[in-house]
Each structure stands twice: as structure tokens, then as C-alpha cells.
Amino acid sequence: MKRILLLALLLINYFGNAQNLVSNGNMEVFSSPTSTPTGWSSSSDFGDFNQNTTDFTEGASSVEFTAGFSDLMMFTTVDIPLESGKTYIIKYDYKYLGSDFDANDNIEFSFYSATAPFLHGTNIQDNNWNTVTTQFIPTETKSDFEATIRVIPAAGIGSNYKVLIDNVQVFEAAPLSTISFNLKDNINIYTSPYKQLKIDTSADIVILDIAAYSIIGQKQKLTPNTKALTNFNLSTLSSGVYILKITTNKGSLTKKILLK
């Protein structure tokens, strides 16, 4: 019991103090409904930004990107301090509004660095809210990193290309020596009657790889719906019991699932 209480206190202490380094990353503050969010600016001759207070994942609003005939970019104006060698978790939510898209539609998150620029791309897959999670280890220490979110329409897309962005977070990952917890208690797996798999994790867990095996040990092909490896289409698998091996930045975990 004492060990459980100590673990709970460590978790509360960490998550209570994990600081989001992105100012107004929850897209709540705007100088006007048709401006970029406070703490952000834009660099594009084609496109607009608007506050969206009817569709969001955190707080009471998101920011709506309306791209024109090229990419549309929004970057932080408040400096983000990052230290060389430390691991930082990057998370944000996005949702595409429309139907004229294909696999080439892309969202990019980047940090400029003179020594090793960071760029992470995500292909838009559907019209749902999706969460992107990745990590970044800077090779230089700077007090004025600038985070950039760039929306890139596929060729031939017109001015009705709209993407919502919300809940942008950058925070330092907890060192393994500081907080060690049971992965089983921090990863939840859900399956639907349509053989869709969804994986929810706590904030500082990054999924690196997922493999599925039949009960006789045969490896199965998985089709991810997102690059974050949190949603999968399992329609090609037969009904039955499968073993999932989930590899994360905090270690590996195996879980049993039943497909009906």
C-alpha cells in the first residue's frame, strides 16, 4: 500500500508540474475572432486564420486554418526555451473540415535549429479529431526556439481547405530515474464492433511501434490510421484473440484483445 501511495504522489507531482512551454497552445486567447491566436503569428500570402468556438478538444475554442492556393503557416512569437540533450514531448490535435483531400494532405510541426532542424509531418486521414504525439531531443540549447505549424493542401485543393488545430503542447519528458510507473495502468485499449482499435495513453508516453500476433504466434499486418500509432483498422483480421506488443519510450507492454 505504501508503494502505491508513493507512486500516486509521484504521478500527481509530475503531471501537476509538467509545464506546457507553448504560450496559448490551447488556442483560447484571440485579439479578434479573425486573427491568429495571441502568441502566434502567420507567414502566408494566401489563407486566413479564425477562432472556432464551436469545435475544439480543449477549453472553449480552436484555431481554424483556411488555406488558399498554397501552404499556410503559423508560428509562435513567444520564445520557447529548450535544452540540448533533453527529451521533449510534442502533442497537438487536428481536424480536417471538408471532403476534398487525399493522402498527400499534410500538417507539419517544426523547430528551427542551426545545428539540426526538427520537422515532423502528419498525413490527414479523416474528418475526426486526431492527436499527434512525437518527441524532440535538441542538439543545442536555446532560449528562443520557435514552433511552427504548417498546413499543406494537396495539389488542386481550392480555397475551402480548412483544418482545425487545438491543444498544442511541448513539455519536458519525465526522466525514467525520476518517475517509474506501470505501463499497464497508463495505456488503455478499445476495440469497436467494426474492428477499429484505439489506444489512449498518458501525456508523456510516446508509442514507437505496435505488433499483433495470433494465439499461435503468427505476426499479423496492422494498418495504422494515424502516424501517432493510436488508431488502427483491424478489418483484415479474423475474429478471435490476439496479443498486442506495444513499444513505447517508457518500455514495452503486451495486452490481449478479442475481435468479434
Structural domains of the chain, with CATH: 20-172 (2.60.120.260), 183-259 (2.60.40.3080)
Neighbours of 94 (CB within 10 A): 24
Instruction: Name the band, by pLDDT with cuts 50, 70 and 90, for residue 7.
Output: very low
**Least confident residue range of 10-14, 16-20, 103-107:** 10-14
Which pLDDT score, from 0 to 100, does residue 93 have? Answer: 92
- The cell numbers describing 203, all together, are 501525456
- Contact, 260 vs 193, CB < 8 A? yes
- Of 68-77, 79-88, 95-104, 248-257, the one with minimum mean pLDDT is 95-104
> Among all chains, which residue has been given the C-alpha cell 500570402?
45
CB 246 within 8 A of CB 184: no
Cβ contacts of 53 within 8 Å, gap of 6 or more: 60, 61
| Cα separation, 36 vs 24, whole angstroms | 11
pLDDT for the residue numbered 159: 56
Q: Say which residue, 170 or 222, is predicted with more confidence.
A: 170
CA distance linking residue 25 with residue 62, whole number of Å: 10
Asked whether residue 29 carries a pLDDT value surpassing 60, the answer given is yes
Q: Which three cell numbers stand for residue 250?
A: 517508457
- What is each CA distance from 172 to 15, 117, 138, 143, in whole angstroms? 11, 18, 11, 14
* pLDDT interval class at 174 (50, 70, 90): low
